[in-house]
Amino acid sequence: MPEQYLPLVYMLINLVHAAVAIPAGTISDRVGRERMLAVGYGFLAATNVILLIPSRGVLTAIAATCAFGLYAGTVETMQRAVIPRYAEQKLRGTAYGMYYLTVGVSYLAANVVVGLLWDSIGLSAALTYSLVTSVTACLIMMFITSAGKGSN
């Protein structure tokens, strides 16, 4: 994709993110936040699958961009929403601080790994790594919900 279109990609990601956040929150009120986190990680897996398709046409780019926006709008909303469930009232400020520290360090580590894989092996290796980690996250959240912790 030509670089001049990258602002449009970011715009579409943000539009989809904004459009899905409230519906994802509403659905999570009925089915549970952990279940919606699993769905969100599924959207990230779908993004990777789309990008692994050999065709790199405009429709592939739009589909991957929308899938990533669905992931971002669901996961970023749900991750913050589960914190009160697992943190005592008097420790919520600390819990949110730990959340943002963990997310920042995790994003840094993940991006370094993806960058190293992309540079040393290629794009397919980086996307496969991301696919494996997103499917793993999805399965973990499904396990948590089946264990009874994610009922609402």
pLDDT digits (tens, 9 = 90+) for 28-77: 999 999 999 999 999 999 999 999 988 778 888 899 999 999 999 999 98
C-alpha–C-alpha distance, residues 134 and 104, integer Å: 17
74, 134 Cβ separation under 8 angstroms: no
Average pLDDT over residues 143-147: 83
Alpha-carbon Rg for the chain, nearest whole angstrom, is 16
C-alpha–C-alpha distance, residues 98 and 100, integer Å: 6
Q: Which superfamily does CATH assign the domain made up of 3-146 to?
A: MFS general substrate transporter like domains (1.20.1250.20)
